Amino acid sequence: MNFLEERIMKDGIVKEGNVLKVDSFLNHQMDIALFDEMGAEWKRRFADKPINKILTIEASGIGIACVAARHFDVPVVFAKKSKSINIEGDMYVAEVESFTHKCKNQVIVSKKFLSPEDHVLIIDDFLANGCALQGLISIITEAGATVEGIGIAVEKGFQLGGRLIRNLGFQLESLAIVDAMDASTGEITFRKQ
């Protein structure tokens, strides 16, 4: 087990309905030393990529992305989520349909901050069905920029998102992939990487 899998075993809580609560260290209270270690690991895995920008999405991706960015020495841009339609001009907008909550959300980034010169690493805390991630990829593509890779903290391997993204040929580096969880025993099965 790597450092993140160990931390999930120690402090993660499995709840009914395939819910994994990691809010004590990842997405409500945040362990900055852990984020730093995650950043170092992504830097190792994406060492050969000419990354000049990190893109994440509000809210829980921002902390991880900002701490990880120190290892890449690049700025971070965070995409905004919105249910509304009225956007002031000069924004990239991707409409993404949630698989679970039958609603449409918009993912928004100002055109000022993505251009064809950008080589982007996407960072987020969770990957399940990957709707938000699809919106981010769509925006990077629309900007003419390059997706150099995707760094995820926790992937739910039993949902569709990871397979879809790998099938599309992207380098997706999830630091922990949960293949199964059992709420009655608290057991978590990680994929061997």
Q: Under the rule (CB under 8 A), what is the footprint of a copy of itself?
A: 23-25, 28-33, 35-36, 58-59, 62-63, 65-67, 69-70, 73-78, 80, 109-110, 112-113
For 75-145, list the strands marked E by DSSP.
76-82, 91-97, 104-110, 119-127
CA distance 115 to 20: 36
CA distance 178 to 184: 16
For the bound state, the minimum distance from the C-beta of residue 170 to a copy of itself, rounded and expressed in Å, comes to 23
Of the candidates 101, 105, 154, the one whose C-alpha atom is nearest the C-alpha of residue 134 is 105
Q: Which is nearer to a copy of itself, 75 or 144 (CB)?
A: 75
For the bound state, the minimum distance from the C-beta of residue 60 to a copy of itself, rounded and expressed in Å, comes to 8
SS3 113: helix
Q: Which is nearer to a copy of itself, 20 or 165 (CB)?
A: 20
What's the half-sphere exposure (Cβ side, CA atoms, 13 Å) at 112?
A: 5
Tell me whether residue 104 is annotated as binding. no
CA distance 150 to 87: 27
Q: Which is nearer to a copy of itself, 34 or 164 (CB)?
A: 34
Of the candidates 63, 149, 104, the one whose C-alpha atom is nearest the C-alpha of residue 93 is 104
Tell me whether residue 135 is annotated as binding. no
For the bound state, the minimum distance from the C-beta of residue 174 to a copy of itself, rounded and expressed in Å, comes to 21
For the bound state, the minimum distance from the C-beta of residue 112 to a copy of itself, rounded and expressed in Å, comes to 7
Residue ranges of the annotated binding site are: 20, 27, 128-132, 156
Residue ranges of the annotated binding site for 5-phospho-alpha-D-ribose 1-diphosphate are: 128-132
Residue ranges of the annotated binding site for xanthine are: 20, 27, 156
